[in-house]
Amino acid sequence: MKSILLIIFINISQFIYPQSNLEIKKKQDAIVLEYVTNCAERYNYNYQMSEWQNCLDEGLKKDSTIASLWQEKAMPYFKTRKYEIGMKFIDKAVQYDPEQWQPYRAFIKCIFAKTYKDAIVDFQDCINKYGNGYRMDHAYSFYIGLCYLQLNEYEKAEKIFKEYNDDLFKNRQGLEHPTALFYYGIAKYELKKWDEAIALFDKALKVYPNFSDAKCYKAVCMARLGTKEEDIKALFKTAKEDAKLGYTINEDNTIYEMYPYQVRWKF
């Protein structure tokens, strides 16, 4: 009789006093360690995708609410250009941990899947809910500016990149980001503000002297302004030499995707 009462008491206690968040986190961390660190990461998803995915599926059988497992399922599909497959998994990650993974999903829509209108909606929602945070070295507004460039809404892009670079200059005490300056210059270039574009490309080149893409678009602007042909040719030649050495847009994910306005050189 006492043992029956004890079992009933334990069951009632578990209902009244559910697991603490700390206990849940410990269990989930153990699952991630077992099925990501000690399983999936033993494989190269480029050549062993099924093994990678099987590990994560086993982890999800233990707890399907672990957002990072869904993200780990999605990530290799994005990097192998299977965007629609990956998106259904990242949507699950966002479902369980939106603050962590919604900005990542928006980034994927912008840089990988290139669904720019959807990316703007996602990033704007992130800003509304969490503030203008950072993902992959840039604030959410930076990616919204990129999306507007790709949608040919150049005045919107110009306004966003102006605000972004002004804030960056203030916050980093002059250590401006060359990619951000480059895209601000691109917005000016598309609006046919050739002198202003050149000034911004020069700022980018001051930070990153071998920035081949900035040199290329600067050369185009110089041609539009009627600069001497030999000066344009000399700049374009150095741009091509820099590109051949790998000096292009300096973002981690350029190894997977061409970024907007990144020059496709022929050597």
* 86 beta partners: none
Give the model's pLDDT for residue 89: 98
Give the model's pLDDT for residue 16: 45
Give the model's pLDDT for residue 53: 97
For the entire predicted model, the pTM comes to 0.88
Amino acid of residue 231: D
Give the model's pLDDT for residue 19: 66
Domains of the chain: 27-96 (1.25.40), 152-267 (1.25.40.10)
Segment 241-258, tens digit of pLDDT: 999 999 999 999 999 999
Cα–Cα separations (whole angstroms), residue 213 to 61, 154, 265: 47, 19, 10
pLDDT (tens place) for every residue of the chain, 267 residues total: 545 544 444 454 444 445 688 898 999 999 999 999 999 999 999 999 999 999 999 999 999 999 999 999 999 999 999 999 999 999 999 999 999 999 999 999 999 999 999 999 999 999 999 999 999 989 999 999 999 999 999 999 999 999 999 887 666 655 679 999 999 999 999 999 999 999 999 999 999 999 999 999 999 999 999 999 999 999 999 999 999 999 999 999 999 999 999 999 988
